[in-house]
C-alpha cells in the first residue's frame, strides 16, 4: 500500500512541477512568479519527510531541517545583499518618443515625496525625494487629442485602477514582469492614464494599454482648483518601477531608464534626451536634500528634449540673425482662444496672474483677470 502511495505521489508531484516551472510565467501568477514553485517545493518536502520518517526514522527529519535552513538562509541572504538576478529590458517607449518634451529625474525634487529603498540597497530607506519619473508631452490638455500609451516590455497587466476608484483623475495600470529572479518580481506602474485593458491580460511590448489624457481632467482640475491641469499645460503622466522581493517582503524602487534596450536609448537620444542625466545619484541627493520643498528648481529636476528646448527658445525670443535684434516675447502666445466651448476654464500667465475665459457684458467670450 505504502509503495503504491509513494509512486503515485512521486509521479503526481513530478507532473505538477513541470507545469509550475513551465507555465508560471504565462499566467497572472506572474504577479508572484515563484509562488507556485514554492507551493510545489512544500509538497515535495512533505512527501520526502513522510517517506524518510517511515524508512529512516527521526534522524532523516533532522537532516531535512538542516538542509531547509541552509536553503532558507540562502534566500534571505540573496534577497538582502544581492541585486535581483533578473531585470526587465524595456524595448518600447511608453508613448511616441518624439512627443516627449521633458522627463523628471529619478530622485528629483519634482512633484511630491515618493521614496523608499532603492534596488541594490534593500532595507536602506531613502526619504524626501521623488523616486519615479514624470513624463510631459507636446500635447496639451485642451488640444482634444488622444495619445496611446504602450507596454514597454512583455508582461501581465496585474492591476488596473480607474480614476473613480482612487479618487484621482485618470487611473493606474500596473504591468508586472518576471524572469529567473530570486524570490521576487518587477512591476512598472503607469499613473494618471486611462486603462484600456483588463487586469490579468498578457501583453507584448508595444501593445496599447491606455490612453491620455484622462477624459475627467477638466472636472478634476475644477474640483481640486489645480493650475497644473489648465488647457494650455502639457499632458503629464507618471512612471514608477519597482522590484518586489518576497524574501524579505518589500518593494525597492528603480529608474526605468536604467533598463533601456540600446535601440530605445538611441531613439530617446535622437529626441534630445541625455539618458545618463535622468538619474540623480543617492549621494548627491543626500548632500542636497529636498527639505520638503518640491517644484522649486525645474532646471535641476528635469531633463529636456529638443522640443522643449525649441519651445523655450521661442518663448524667450531668439536673436534675429539678420538684424541682431531680439524677438519680442509674447507671454500669451500659448493661451487658447477663448470661446464658448472653454468658458470657465482658467489659464495662468508666466507672471503668475490667473486668467478666466468668461462672457463679457455683451455675452462675448473674453479672457479676463480679477
Is residue 321 situated within a structural domain?
no
Is residue 132 situated within a structural domain?
yes
Residues 301 and 355 placed together within one structural domain of the fold: no
State the average pLDDT over residues 305-331: 50
Buried/exposed 66-99: b ≥16 CB within 10 Å, e otherwise? eeeeeeeeebeebbeeebbebbbebbbbbbebbb
Give per-residue pLDDT as tens, 6-47.
777 777 767 777 666 555 554 444 445 456 666 777 777 777
Is residue 325 situated within a structural domain?
no
Cell numbers placing 319: 536673436
Is residue 90 situated within a structural domain?
no
Lowest mean pLDDT among 157-166, 194-203, 289-298: 157-166
Lowest mean pLDDT among 116-130, 197-211, 279-293: 116-130
Residues 20 and 161 placed together within one structural domain of the fold: no
Query: How far, in Å, CA of 99 to CA of 140, rounded?
Result: 11
Residues 70 and 193 placed together within one structural domain of the fold: no
Q: CB of 92 within 8 A of CB of 152?
A: yes
How many other CB atoms sit within 10 Å of the CB of residue 300? 12
Residue 330, pLDDT above cutoff 70: no
How many other CB atoms sit within 10 Å of the CB of residue 159? 16
* 369 or 96, higher pLDDT: 96
Domain boundary among 37, 52, 81: 81
Residues 165 and 257 placed together within one structural domain of the fold: yes
Residue 115, pLDDT above cutoff 80: yes
Q: CB of 270 within 8 A of CB of 96?
A: no
Residues 27 and 142 placed together within one structural domain of the fold: no
Residue 309: helix, strand or coil by DSSP?
Answer: helix
pLDDT at 183: 60
Residue 355: phi and psi, rounded to 5, are: -105, 150
Is residue 328 situated within a structural domain?
no
Residues 355 and 234 placed together within one structural domain of the fold: no
Is residue 333 situated within a structural domain?
no
Is residue 257 situated within a structural domain?
yes
Query: How far, in Å, CA of 337 to CA of 183, rounded?
Result: 55
pLDDT band at 326 (very low <50, low <70, confident <90, very high): very low
184, 240, 246, 286 from 75: Cα distances, Å:
11, 26, 9, 30
Residues 101 and 71 placed together within one structural domain of the fold: no
pLDDT at 148: 95
Mean of all residue pLDDT scores within the chain: 76
Residue 208: phi and psi, rounded to 5, are: -75, 125
Residues 306 and 344 placed together within one structural domain of the fold: no
How many other CB atoms sit within 10 Å of the CB of residue 354? 12
Residues 275 and 192 placed together within one structural domain of the fold: yes
Residues 307 and 344 placed together within one structural domain of the fold: no
Residues 131 and 237 placed together within one structural domain of the fold: yes
Percent of the chain having pLDDT more than 90?
Answer: 26
* 143 or 263, higher pLDDT: 263
Question: Which CATH number characterizes residue 280's domain?
Answer: 2.70.70
Cell numbers placing 187: 512591476
Domain boundary among 278, 294, 313: 313
Is residue 323 situated within a structural domain?
no
Domain boundary among 81, 114, 134: 81
Domain extent, residue 17, equals 2-81
Q: What angle do CA 95, 101, 103 make, to 5 degrees?
A: 80
What pTM did the predictor assign? Answer: 0.70
Residues 176 and 66 placed together within one structural domain of the fold: no
Query: How far, in Å, CA of 366 to CA of 179, rounded?
Result: 58
Lowest mean pLDDT among 200-214, 239-253, 336-350: 336-350
The structural domain count of the chain equals 3
Amino acid at each position: 500500500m505504502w509503495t503504491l502511495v509513494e509512486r503515485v505521489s512521486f509521479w503526481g508531484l513530478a507532473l505538477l512541477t513541470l507545469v509550475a516551472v513551465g507555465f508560471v510565467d504565462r499566467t497572472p501568477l506572474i504577479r508572484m512568479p515563484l509562488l507556485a514553485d514554492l507551493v510545489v517545493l512544500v509538497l515535495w518536502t512533505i512527501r520526502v519527510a513522510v517517506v524518510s520518517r517511515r524508512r529512516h526514522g527521526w534522524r532523516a527529519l533532522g537532516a531535512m531541517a538542516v538542509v531547509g535552513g541552509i536553503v532558507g538562509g540562502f534566500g534571505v541572504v540573496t534577497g538582502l545583499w544581492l541585486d535581483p538576478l533578473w531585470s526587465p529590458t524595456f524595448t518600447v517607449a511608453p508613448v511616441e518618443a518624439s512627443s516627449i518634451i521633458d522627463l523628471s529625474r529619478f530622485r528629483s525634487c519634482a512633484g511630491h515625496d515618493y521614496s523608499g529603498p532603492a534596488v541594490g540597497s534593500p532595507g536602506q530607506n531613502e526619504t524626501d525625494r521623488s523616486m519615479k519619473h514624470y513624463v510631459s508631452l507636446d500635447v496639451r490638455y485642451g488640444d482634444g487629442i488622444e495619445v496611446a500609451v504602450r507596454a514597454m516590455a512583455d508582461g501581465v497587466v496585474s492591476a488596473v485602477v480607474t480614476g473613480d476608484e482612487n479618487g484621482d483623475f485618470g487611473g493606474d495600470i500596473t504591468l508586472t514582469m518576471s524572469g529567473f529572479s530570486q524570490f521576487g518580481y518587477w512591476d512598472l506602474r503607469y499613473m494618471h492614464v486611462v486603462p484600456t485593458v483588463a487586469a490579468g491580460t498578457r501583453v507584448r511590448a508595444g501593445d496599447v494599454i491606455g490612453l491620455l489624457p484622462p477624459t475627467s481632467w477638466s472636472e478634476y482640475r475644477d474640483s481640486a482648483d489645480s493650475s497644473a491641469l489648465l488647457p494650455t499645460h502639457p499632458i503629464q503622466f507618471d512612471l514608477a518601477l519597482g522590484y518586489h522581493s518576497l524574501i524579505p517582503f518589500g518593494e525597492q524602487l528603480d529608474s526605468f531608464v536604467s533598463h533601456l534596450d540600446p535601440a530605445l536609448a538611441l531613439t530617446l537620444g535622437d529626441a534630445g534626451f541625455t539618458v545618463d542625466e535622468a538619474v540623480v545619484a543617492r549621494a548627491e541627493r543626500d548632500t542636497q536634500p529636498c527639505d520638503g520643498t518640491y517644484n522649486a528648481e525645474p532646471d535641476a529636476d528635469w531633463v529636456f528634449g529638443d522640443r522643449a528646448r525649441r519651445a523655450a527658445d521661442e518663448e524667450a525670443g531668439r536673436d534675429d540673425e539678420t538684424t541682431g535684434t531680439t524677438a519680442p516675447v509674447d507671454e500669451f502666445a500659448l493661451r487658447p482662444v477663448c470661446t464658448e466651448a472653454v468658458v470657465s476654464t482658467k489659464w495662468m500667465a508666466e507672471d503668475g496672474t490667473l486668467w478666466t475665459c468668461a462672457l463679457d457684458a455683451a455675452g462675448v467670450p473674453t479672457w479676463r483677470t480679477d
